[in-house]
Structures are given as C-alpha cells and as structure tokens.
Amino acid sequence: MRQISSVLGLLNLSVFFKSHLFLLPVLYLFYTSCGITLADFFLIQGLSSLTCLLLDVPMGYIADRVSKKKILICSNLILVLRFLLLYFFPTKFVIFLGEILYAFVIVSFVGTGDSYIYELLKTENKTVAMLKRYGRLYFWISIGTSIASLSGAYIYGELGAKMVILLTLIFTSVSTLLLLFIPDIDVKKKNVLSMKQKYLSIYAEVKRALKNREFINLITFSAFLTATYQIFMWSMQPVMKLALVPVTLFGVIFFLNHMARASGSYFAHKVLKKFNLVKLGWIVYFGFILSFFAMIGIGEKTPLALTLALLVFICLMISLQVTWLISAIARIHEISTSKNRALSASVNSMAGRLLTAICLILSKFILDGNPLSVNLLIFLILFIPSALILKKWKV
C-alpha cells in the first residue's frame, strides 16, 4: 500500500474538486427562475435531509459489503448524474429529483470518507491522528466550495446557469478519476450484520446512549447546532435577494462562509486544546443567538455595507460551529469502543439530520403565509432551550 500521506493527499484532492459546486451560491436564484417558491426551497432542503436520514442505515448495510473506494466512486457518479439532469432538463421535477440524488451523495460520502481515513490510519496504528486528518479532509472540502462560491456567482451573472452547471460536471468528473488511484483497504469483516440487525443495533445504541449523560449532551447539542446552521445556510440567499445584494456578492459571502468553515475544520484540534467542549459550546451558543438577530435585522432598506457586515459575522460564528461539531465527533470516537464506534457516530449523524429535516419542512408551512423574518424568529425561540444542555453538562 502507498504511504498514508500520499493516499490521503489523493483523497483530499478528489474532494477538493468534488466540492466545486459552482451553482451553490446562486442556487436559490436558479431555482426561482425554474418556478420554485421560497417555501418550496426550504421544503426541498428538508426533504433532502429526510432522505439522508432514511438512507443512512441502508448505506451502512451496503458499506459492509462493498469496498469504501467503490462507494466513494459511486457517490461521485450520482453527483455527475444530478448535474447532467439539471443541464438538460431544468424543471421542477428534476430539481426535486436532483436533491434526492444529492442526499445519496451526502450519505454515501459522509459515512464512508471518515471510515476510509480511520481504517487507513489503523493499518499503521496511527488512529491518534484521526481528528487532524478528518479536519484536513473537511478543510479541503471547504476550500473547494469557497473557490466555487466566489467564481460561481460571477459566472452565473455573466454566462448563465448552463455554464455554471457544465463547469461543475467537469470538476466532478476529474474528482471521480482521482478516486480510481486510491487503494482499497483490506479489512477483515466478521459477522456482517443484516439490514434488520443494523436497525436493531441502532435501537440498542440509542438505548445505551440515553443511559450515558455525555452521549446525550454530544448528540442533542450537535443536532441543535446542525439544524440551526442549515436554517442559516438556506436563509442567506433569500435574505441577500431581499436586501438587493448584487449577484456577484452572493459569491463573496458564500466564499467567506466556506473559508470560515475551512478554518474551523483546520484548527479544530488546536482550539480544543484551549477550550473544552462546554466552554466552546457556550461561545457558539451566544454567537448563534446574535446571528439570529443579525439575519432577522437584514431587510430591503438595510444599507449594503451593514448587510455585508452582519453576514460576515454570521459566517464567523459558523466557523466556530464547525469546530465544535468536529471536536464532538472526535470525542464520540474517544468514548466509544471499537464495537459501537460506528453506530455511535451514526446515531449522532441521524439525530442532526432528523432535527434538520423537521425544521426545514416546518419552514415550508411557516413561509407559505409569513415573511422569512417570522421563520427565523420561530427558530430562534426553539434554539434558546439548547442552553439547558450546556448548563447541565459536567466536564
């Protein structure tokens, strides 16, 4: 097998190209041009998150029987299919179908990418570097998304959606080719679980987690932060459109957003040396409270400079959220045994997806008769009780 550093270098380069989603900073503008309403926009994202949740266990079942390399390649091919459909058939149906396909892309990568890194490190007994390597992976994902965000909005404004989608197809194809050169990892698989056994194992793991206060804290606060981030993420473009922000600046804000996420990933292992999860959690909590007020305060008559300043602040708070989530995942790996480590991480992921799906789908019904500010205010009220988790958390 090649040296770990060179293999992970190829994997990082592949995800760097894969994350060049040039349509992302103007997704709302593109969707509305295809007849999607604001309420539909949130519903689509909610259904996507729900699909991720439903696919989580079946994807884990497949991962036990197929090599992780093949799953990563399949994930990329599905992403290529999504943008091919959008390129040739930009309709409401294809948009909904595309988000379902993207849910498969997310689930197949998130569970497989970190497992691939862990198993690769395990071949040379270097699992102690998991947090650092995991952070580096998401650093390159965020860097790629940042570059695509900055350029995608400009290209969309100058050359239109077709060119943006075509560029995404090219970058995703390069990413897929790079994956062909990473090795399969030979892992001895004993007592591979059936689908029914996997669901029973998750049920047992949930019961176990409910008896462990730290697991409860990690999982529930992670779910709150994940769902709240998604509310911020999908509210940014409608808010910028409401505030009459030029299309080119959509890309600038999304660039800063993902650069902030990249920084949060890259420095996670260093930040955790100075702040424990509870102290960092309080910082993120109050930062998110202020972020809600910042986003609610942005309106049609808000000066452009103030709008941009408030959005930059929200991006900075999101970077701390990423740091906390990555640190929480690493902590889950630490307090889990080899027998239940994957299941514990899966339960954590599923909790975040479930709460995200509920919030985004609920937004559809709120936004059908109310402005976006009402939607944000409701979720601010729902987020406030998460302080009880931190208050009762003993470290």
Taking Cα atoms as reference points, which of 113, 106, 111 lies closest to residue 7?
113
| Ramachandran area for residue 26 (φ above 0: left; ψ -120 to 50: alpha; else beta) | alpha
Q: 82-118 pLDDT, tens per residue? A: 999 999 999 999 999 999 999 999 888 876 777 788 7
Q: CA nearest 75: which of 111, 43, 23?
A: 111
Start-to-end CA span in the chain (Å): 41
DSSP class of 305: H
Beta-strand runs (E) in the chain: none
The pLDDT assigned to 211 comes to 76
Q: Which two tokens stand for residue 247?
A: 């299309």
Calculate the alpha carbon distances from 234 to 39, 43, 46, 206, 227 in Å.
11, 11, 10, 30, 11
pLDDT of 94 reads 95
Q: How far apart are CA 255 and CA 79, in angstroms?
A: 21
pLDDT computed for residue 1 by the predictor: 47
Could you give the domains of the chain? 4-182+193-391 (1.20.1250.20)
Indicate whether 189 pLDDT > 60: no
**pLDDT for 2:** 59
pLDDT digits over 232-279, tens only?
989 999 999 999 999 989 988 988 887 887 777 777 667 767 778 888
CB contact set of 238 (below 8 Å; sequence gap of 6+): 28, 38, 41, 372
pLDDT in tens, 191-224: 666 777 777 777 776 777 677 788 888 888 999 9
pLDDT confidence of 188, banded at 50, 70, 90? low
The residue with greater pLDDT, 347 or 241, is 241
